[in-house]
Amino acid sequence: MSDTVPVTVEGVYMVPSPPGVAPVVMLGYENKMLPIYVGISEAIAIGGALHNETTPRPMTHDLVISLLKNLNAKIDSVVIDDLEDGIYYARLIVQVDGNKKELDARPSDCIALALRVDAKIRVKKSVIDAAAVNKDEIKHSIVDL
């Protein structure tokens, strides 16, 4: 994974988008932000994980974490490794019995899961180079969710 870089989840925001506003997760790397547009349900799941919020009953991402724990597996990391026609692709790296398994998954689900278990999130450098914007350029157009 030498061609990937560690990122932080800077937040979940609303940004202008035709016909109104859209939720976006901002991943930070150095002085850049990588915007990943997500659905409102995913934005709520990621925002809840960022703020350590819990619900009375387990939500889907909480269920997945519980399932993995009960199967003696754990999330090792997340890698966002491709961007094609505006769509990001990611892999969830799960450790099972000392072996790592890679699962194709949506970046939003990967981020929501990683935040719940404090797993590393990495992005392929070519994706950062292709889609990240300078932090100063984006700050004026985002609103906290």
The rounded distance, in Å, linking the Cα atoms of 83 and 73 is: 28
Q: pLDDT class for 129, splitting at 50, 70, 90? A: very high
Phi-psi region of 102 (alpha: psi -120 to 50; beta: other; left: phi over 0): beta
- pLDDT, greater one: 29 or 137: 29
* pLDDT tens-digit map of 2-17: 799 999 999 999 888 8
Q: Give residue 140's pLDDT band: very low, low, confident or very high (50, 70, 90).
A: low
Residue whose tokens read 């692709």: 89
Q: How many CA atoms lie within 13 A of 26 on its CB side?
A: 23
Total of domains in the chain? 1
Of 44, 14, 11, 12, residue with least CA distance to 142:
14
Contact status, residue 110 vs residue 92, Cβ threshold 8 Å? yes
Per-residue pLDDT reduced to its tens digit, 52-68: 998 899 899 999 999 99
For position 63, which CATH number holds? Answer: 3.10.690.10
Query: What tokens were used for 34?
Result: 């990588």
- Residue 91, classed as helix, strand or coil, is strand
pLDDT at 132 over 70: yes
> Which of these, 64, 88, 84, lies nearest to 74 by C-alpha position?
64
Reduced to 3 states (helix: H, G, I; strand: E, B; else coil), residue 31 is coil
What is the pLDDT at residue 141? 60
Alpha-carbon span 50 to 12, nearest angstrom: 9
Backbone φ and ψ for 59, nearest 5 degrees, come out as -85, 175
User: In which element (H, E) is residue 105 found?
Assistant: strand 99-105
Residue 104's domain comprises 4-144
Q: What is the pLDDT of residue 130?
A: 96
126 vs 143: which has the higher pLDDT: 126
* pLDDT digit string, tens, across residues 33-52: 999 999 999 999 999 999 99
